[in-house]
């Protein structure tokens, strides 16, 4: 019996060695490095991890909607303590709040969005959580709010994900969307900063944000943001003002809106919840984040990847007329990831763009998601293994 098992093991090891030889002879881009290293590393990844437990979810039917998970994380700030402290995990559920709280009366609140991804070996990765923590701090300063430290933010996210790890979808079948909230929850009647704050993190498994083709309509009557406003941060008040035109656009068969700048009405800015890029030749252009456009973390990552691919990446004002000369258009965001735009309609004129496996956006999507899920080696330190 021992000799029989040994011969099977040797055969398997020889197969693995053959795969190593095959991959070592391939010429790959730096971002396309397969994660097959020394044989011992491969063996430990295959045999050392216990099989993950999963929630009873039809992972193949996931959309972008709330699925109730097990736990959320809550941490409070008070005027007496002057800091966030004693964060705890609690069962996911409703929260109690004073009717005069700052978030309810004056919209004093921020949120973030990031994802946890399952690797092939069932480990769990976060993607650039420190960037979300830093962006929340910038937003909190603009909204006259205290914020958790970067370490507190990341610790809260990690604890929330690990407490809900059975809800992290299997590799390649979705992700766990993590939503940190910072809210003014102290009692307040007058127009002034809240007297108390709550930092809360919850999570939900999600699939694709947009299913099907992405068809945009240019909105030239309603503006998402104005100079000097809060368009450059994730203030909760940035989103509901666009519900009306967005609902009307969807009723007319469009997927989303593309907003123009409020100053001139002639330059593109972003979608309702995504950044936008255009491709012409070897040049990729995206609108400058000058206070009215959210500096997306996916946007930032795609710019770095595209630059390493050899493209010239520009941040600049982009007149709407240039969109109609573009070879390819795509959108980015935590929820959307990277998605090709099928068409843009402006004042009755519709232009269609290239779609399919050969588009740049598909190559960028494959590279980014490969890094996020551990399929492609992360040489930039973007991912954080938490389980």
Residue 344 CA: distances (Å) to CA of 218, 283, 351 = 7, 20, 6
Q: Which of 167, 186, 188, 187 is nearest to 177 (CA)?
A: 167
Q: Which residues contact 212 (CB under 8 A, 6 or more apart)?
A: 255
Check if the beta carbon of residue 178 is closer than 8 Å to that of residue 69: no
Q: Which residues contact 38 (CB under 8 A, 6 or more apart)?
A: none
Out of 119, 234, 339, 363, pick the active-site residue: 234
Query: Known catalytic residue: 339?
Result: no
Q: What angle do CA 152, 154, 155 make, to 5 degrees?
A: 60
User: Measured between alpha carbons, how far is 261 from 271 in angstroms, rounded to an integer?
Assistant: 12
**Tokens at 70, concatenated:** 């097990």
Q: Which residues contact 59 (CB under 8 A, 6 or more apart)?
A: 169, 170, 173, 174, 205, 207
Task: Tell me the longest C-alpha to C-alpha distance in the chain.
Answer: 81
The three-state DSSP-derived secondary structure of 258-300 is: EEECCCCCCEEEEECCCEEEEEECCEEEECCCCCCCCCCHHHH
Residue with token string 């193949």: 60
**Tokens at 244, concatenated:** 């009306």
What length is written for the chain? 387
- The residues that are catalytic are 234
């Amino acid at each position: 019996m021992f000799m029989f098992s040994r011969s099977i093991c040797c055969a398997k090891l020889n197969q693995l060695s053959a795969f190593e030889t095959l991959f070592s002879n391939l010429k790959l881009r730096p971002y396309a490095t397969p994660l097959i290293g020394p044989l011992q590393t491969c063996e430990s990844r295959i045999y050392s991890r216990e099989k993950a437990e999963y929630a009873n979810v039809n992972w193949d039917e996931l959309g972008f909607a709330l699925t109730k998970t097990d736990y959320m994380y809550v941490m409070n700030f008070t005027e007496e303590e002057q800091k966030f402290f004693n964060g705890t995990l609690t069962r996911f559920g409703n929260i109690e709040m004073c009717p005069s709280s700052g978030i309810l009366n004056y919209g004093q609140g921020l949120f973030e969005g990031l994802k946890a991804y399952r690797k092939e070996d069932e480990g769990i990765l976060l993607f650039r959580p420190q960037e979300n923590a830093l962006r929340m701090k910038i937003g909190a300063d603009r909204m006259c709010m205290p914020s958790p430290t970067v370490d507190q933010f990341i610790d809260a996210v990690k604890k929330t994900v690990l407490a809900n790890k059975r809800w992290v979808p299997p590799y390649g079948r979705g992700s766990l969307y993590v939503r940190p909230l910072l809210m003014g929850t102290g009692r307040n009647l007058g127009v002034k900063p809240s007297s108390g704050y709550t930092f809360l993190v919850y999570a939900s498994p999600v699939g694709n944000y947009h299913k099907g083709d992405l068809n945009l309509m240019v909105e030239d009557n309603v503006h998402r943001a104005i100079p000097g406003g809060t368009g450059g941060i994730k203030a909760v008040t940035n989103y509901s003002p666009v519900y009306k035109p967005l609902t009307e656009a969807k009723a007319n068969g469009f997927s989303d809106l593309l907003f123009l700048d409020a100053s001139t009405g002639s330059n593109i800015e972003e979608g309702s919840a995504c950044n936008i890029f255009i491709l012409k030749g070897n040049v990729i252009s995206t609108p400058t984040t000058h206070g009215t456009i959210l500096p997306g973390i996916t946007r930032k990552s795609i710019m770095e990847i595209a630059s390493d691919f050899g493209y010239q990446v520009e941040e600049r004002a982009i007149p709407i007329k240039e969109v109609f000369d573009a070879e390819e258009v795509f959108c980015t965001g935590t929820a959307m990831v990277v998605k090709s735009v099928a068409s843009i309609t402006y004042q009755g004129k519709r232009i269609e763009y290239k779609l399919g496996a050969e588009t740049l956006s598909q190559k960028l999507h494959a590279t980014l998601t490969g890094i996020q899920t551990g399929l492609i080696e992360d040489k930039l330190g973007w991912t954080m293994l938490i389980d």
